[in-house]
Structure formats: structure tokens, C-alpha cells
Homo-oligomer: A and B are copies of this chain.
Amino acid sequence: MSVFTRVTAEQLSEWLKGYSVGHLSELKGILAGIENTNYFVTTTNGRYVLTLFEKLKPAELPFYLELMAHLSNHGLPCPKPIANLDNSFLGHLNGKPAALVTCLDGAPVMTPGPEQCARVGEVLADLHLAGRSYRGHLDNLRGPKWWTATAPELLPFLSDTNKAMLTGEVAFQASHRLDDLPRGVVHADLFRDNVLFHGEVIGGVIDFYFACIDVLLYDVAITVNDWCTTEDCELDPVRTRALLDAYRGTRDFTEAERRAWPVMLRAGALRFWVSRLYDFHLPRPGDLTHAHDPVRFERILRHHVESTGLTGPHLRLVA
């Protein structure tokens, strides 16, 4: 479960006097999520999610909250932070930094079809374009510097084959400079559980707490690795094409991006293989269960490594 800090209806009613959202009518803890405490909050004005930040650094929170507000202002279906009477998106409740954001409709689709992948490609491109006018800055805390530092800690837990793949991949990524790729706001975690659908329509893009400024194509790779892989951890040609073509309908890829695509697919897989290995083998004290199995990203990465240099149309950014 993920209610680490308890909030009573009385405490919340008092706190909500600092907001313009009407009176509390319902409060309910949310079990999903492993980083923060979340509650569903219903007031006379609407439905919200209350988040108490348990681990994120307070200095980083304005980047995420202002970003959600910016994207929401641009029409992206993402949670909209609610400002309090001090005109701030960030408050404090029961000793924790806390924010109230709108609650979005829809449910994750765990076995998406090409149409849904296309919608995701479209919304990701919209996010990248709308992000251009965002003035906040935060470096990627899970980028090359991080995986290069983290990989050696993981080696003791790995088979020889995996040791070789991890060391090799970190070196491979280091040998590829990506300075000529367009950069900007990236979601960096646009997995299936972070997109809420009703039918074919996206009702919500959620969980911006890995968002940062990085290479846009890296975000595309992370998204494709989750949305377009088969149970065997290979790219599904139809879903991959649907997502990439829909993305291009809103923001076309540059020539440099086309060349970098195979490298980027591997970078996106490496990032999640490393973090999942880490959470699996080196859980921090106080961490909760829910560690994802690292095997999926090991296999996705292996397929990408073996495919690099091959030329199937779904292995190309533009068919």
C-alpha cells in the first residue's frame, strides 16, 4: 500500500480552507504507487488527487508541478495542480510537502492495440511541442552519468552473460555522442500504467515525477519499449509503426534522430534494466515491495542489441 502518511478528514478539511475547491465530501487512500502517499479527494467542486511527497527532494517539486500546470494550460490531458490562496501549487500537510491535482478519468490499457499506440505517439509529440515554451530546468537523474555509476554495484548479482551485456552496453552508450539531437521536456516514464484511456481516447497522462530536460528521442524510445513490445520482448511491427507514424504527424523526426534510433532504443532499455536490477538486488531500507522484475528489460535490451544493424522497417524510425 502507499499511504505512508495518514491524513484524517478533519485535517484535510482544515487544510482545504487554504484552497478554493469547495468543501470536502470524501477522502480515500490510493493503494497504487510506491513513492508518495496519495488520496482521492472529492469536494463540492470536483475530484482531486492529494499527494504527500515522501521521497522527492522539495527543491525538485516546483519543476514537476509547474510542468504539469504548463502542459495542462496547453491542453495536454495531464493532472492540473491546484494553486492555494497563497498562489502556490505546493503546500505542506502533516509535515510533508503536499499538492492537490485534478483527478483524471480513464483506466490504463495493458494490452494496447495499434490505435491506442497511435494516440500515445500523438500525445507524446504534443507534450514535446508544448514543452518547448516551458522555462523550468531539471537534469535527468536517471541518465548516462547515473547508470555508469550504478552498473558496477550490480555486477556481483549478475550471470556472466548479463555482466558482459551490462558492461558492454554502458560502454556502447558512452561511445555514442548525442549532442545533435533535439532536447526538451521529456516525461521519461510514459509506460502503459501512466496513460488513462476511455476507449480510444486518452483521458489522462499521469506521473510526471521522472520528467526532466533530456533528448526527446529518448522519451520516444522509453515509450516504444513499453507500448510496442510483445510478450517475447521484441518490437511488434504494427504497434511500433502506429506509434512512430502518429508521433511524426505532430513532430517529424530530424535526420540525426533517424540515425540515432537504434542506439536510443537500447538507451531506453538500459535505463530501466539498471533501475530494476537496482531495486531488486539493492532495495533501500524503508523501500516497499513492488520491485518490478528486471528480466523484461534484460530481454528487451538483448533483442535491441541483437537487432542493431538489422533493417526491418519496424527497426527504423521512419518506415
Q: Which residues of A contact B (CB under 8 A)?
A: 19-23, 44-46, 48, 69-77, 80-87, 100, 119, 122-123, 126-127, 129-130, 132-133, 201-202
Contacts and interface: CB of A to CB of B under 8 A. Distances in A.
A77 B45 contact: yes
Given A85-B132, A129-B85, A123 B22 contact: yes
Contact of A75 (B19, B73, B86, B132): B19
A133 B85 contact: yes
B75 A82 contact: yes
Give the oligomeric copy count: 2
Nearest to A89: B73
A198 to B, nearest CB: 11
A130 B16 CA distance: 13
Contacts of A70: 83
Given A44-B201, A45-B202, A20 B76 contact: yes
Nearest to A125: B20
15 contacts: A19-B74, A20-B75, A20-B129, A21-B126, A45-B76, A45-B77, A46-B75, A48-B75, A73-B80, A74-B83, A74-B85, A75-B100, A85-B130, A85-B133, A86-B133
Given A83-B130, A85-B129, A85-B132, 15 more contacts: A19-B74, A20-B74, A20-B126, A21-B74, A21-B75, A22-B122, A44-B119, A44-B201, A46-B75, A70-B83, A73-B81, A73-B83, A74-B84, A75-B83, A85-B130
